[in-house]
């Protein structure tokens, strides 16, 4: 152990090494358990040495997010907009699954980090290159929310399965028959975070494909939001006077889309 620590001390400390070590440590122990002290210990330096490269924990977290987002593979060359967007989002999902803490960390940021902004800019560029108008692309980004970064915000926090799941299932069927019916109608897996027994990957791709198919239809119809500014439904303010709600995804809602 002493020899390993001495080896670490001999490797020059720089910002990239600090951030990548922090990412690996967060993968191992969780973002909640990550501290400057533990990171310094992992690097074999005193905690004060870290502050030459990151001024505080927030800057460290921003840098870690950028490291993760830059891992997302670009789409293959020559693919059409729909395939390119799908490939990139599924690549983002694989990246987020490798770093389970990253999606929550992204959601906590008040301002998107440089890598997140660059990623969003590239995704918007893919829609625009595919012929989407700036108007339609604006609404597409809102519709996708955090899914564009490979994750979704679920309705409920995942909980451990109850000790007697048979009793719970029987009570569910009796009290909430429609919920029970659809719960038993689809594929199941024990590690789901979407809902008890749901196939997370299938559900993610199902919703993604629904969105992409809808975007394609609107694109082919040359959809525009302009008519909504001229004629509005009774009891609703004209579009130009309505205040558009801020996205419930902090990383998107703060960009000004």
Q: For position 21, which CATH number holds?
A: 1.10.10.60
Instruction: Grade residue 100 by pLDDT with cuts at 50, 70 and 90.
Output: very high
> Does any domain span residue 185?
no
Q: Is residue 158 scored above 60 in pLDDT?
A: no
Name the residue range of residue 114's domain. 81-155+197-253
The residue written with tokens 């951030």 in the block is 19
- Tell me the pTM: 0.78
pLDDT at 198: 75
Q: Of 18, 37, 55, which closes a domain? A: 55
206, 241: one domain: yes
Of 154, 136, 27, 140, nearest to 89 by C-alpha is 140
Residue 149 lies in a domain: yes
pLDDT of 175: 87
pLDDT band at 210 (very low <50, low <70, confident <90, very high): very high
In a domain, 187, yes or no: no
Closest CA relative to residue 207, chosen from 145, 253, 255: 145
Does residue 85 share a domain with residue 26? Answer: no
pLDDT at 10 over 80: no
Confidence of residue 139 (pLDDT cuts 50, 70, 90): very high
% of the chain with per-residue pLDDT over 90: 63
Let me know: does 131 contact 85? Beta carbons within 8 Å: no
Average pLDDT, the chain: 83
- Over residues 21-29, mean pLDDT: 98
d(CA 230, CA 74): 40
Count of other CB atoms within 10 angstroms of residue 77: 6
State the total domains in the chain.
Answer: 2
- 88 and 12 co-located in one domain: no
Statement to judge: residues 47 and 149 lie in one domain: no
Residue 247 binned pLDDT confidence (cut-offs 50, 70, 90): very low
Is 221 found in the same domain as 132? yes
Given 55, 72, 92, the domain boundary residue is: 55
- Please tell me whether residues 126 and 17 are part of one structural domain: no
Q: Is the dihedral of CA 117, 123, 124, 126 positive or negative?
A: positive
Instruction: Mark whether 44 and 86 lie in a shared domain.
Output: no
Give percent above pLDDT 70 in the chain: 73
Is residue 191 in some structural domain?
Answer: no
Asked whether residue 133 falls in the same domain as residue 211, the answer is yes
Indicate if 105 and 150 belong to the same structural domain.
Answer: yes
Q: At what angle do helices 57-69 and 81-98 cross, to 10 degrees?
A: 130
In a domain, 163, yes or no: no
Q: What is the mean pLDDT of residues 218-228?
A: 88
């Amino acid at each position: 152990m002493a020899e390993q620590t001495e080896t670490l001390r001999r490797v020059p400390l720089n910002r990239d090494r600090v951030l990548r070590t922090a990412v690996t440590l967060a993968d191992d122990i969780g973002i909640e358990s990550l501290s400057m002290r533990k990171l310094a210990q992992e690097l074999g330096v005193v905690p004060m040495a870290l502050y030459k490269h990151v001024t505080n924990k927030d800057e460290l977290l921003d840098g870690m997010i950028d490291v993760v987002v830059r891992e997302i593979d670009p789409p293959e060359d020559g693919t059409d907009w729909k395939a390119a967007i799908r490939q990139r989002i599924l690549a983002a999902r694989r990246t987020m699954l490798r770093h389970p803490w990253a999606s929550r960390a992204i959601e906590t940021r008040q301002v998107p980090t440089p890598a997140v902004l660059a990623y969003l800019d590239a995704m918007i560029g893919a829609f625009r290159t595919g012929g989407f108008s700036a108007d339609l692309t604006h609404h597409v980004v809102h519709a996708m929310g955090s899914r564009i970064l490979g994750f979704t915000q679920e309705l409920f926090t995942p909980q451990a399965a109850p000790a007697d799941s048979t009793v719970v299932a029987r009570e569910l069927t009796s009290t909430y028959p429609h919920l029970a019916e659809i719960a038993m109608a689809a594929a199941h897996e024990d590690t789901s975070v979407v809902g008890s027994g749901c196939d997370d990957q299938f559900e993610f791709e199902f919703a993604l494909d629904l969105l992409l198919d809808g975007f394609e239809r609107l694109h082919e119809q040359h959809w525009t939001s302009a008519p909504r500014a001229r004629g509005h439904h009774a009891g609703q303010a004209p579009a130009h006077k309505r205040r558009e709600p801020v996205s419930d995804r902090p990383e998107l809602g703060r960009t000004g889309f």
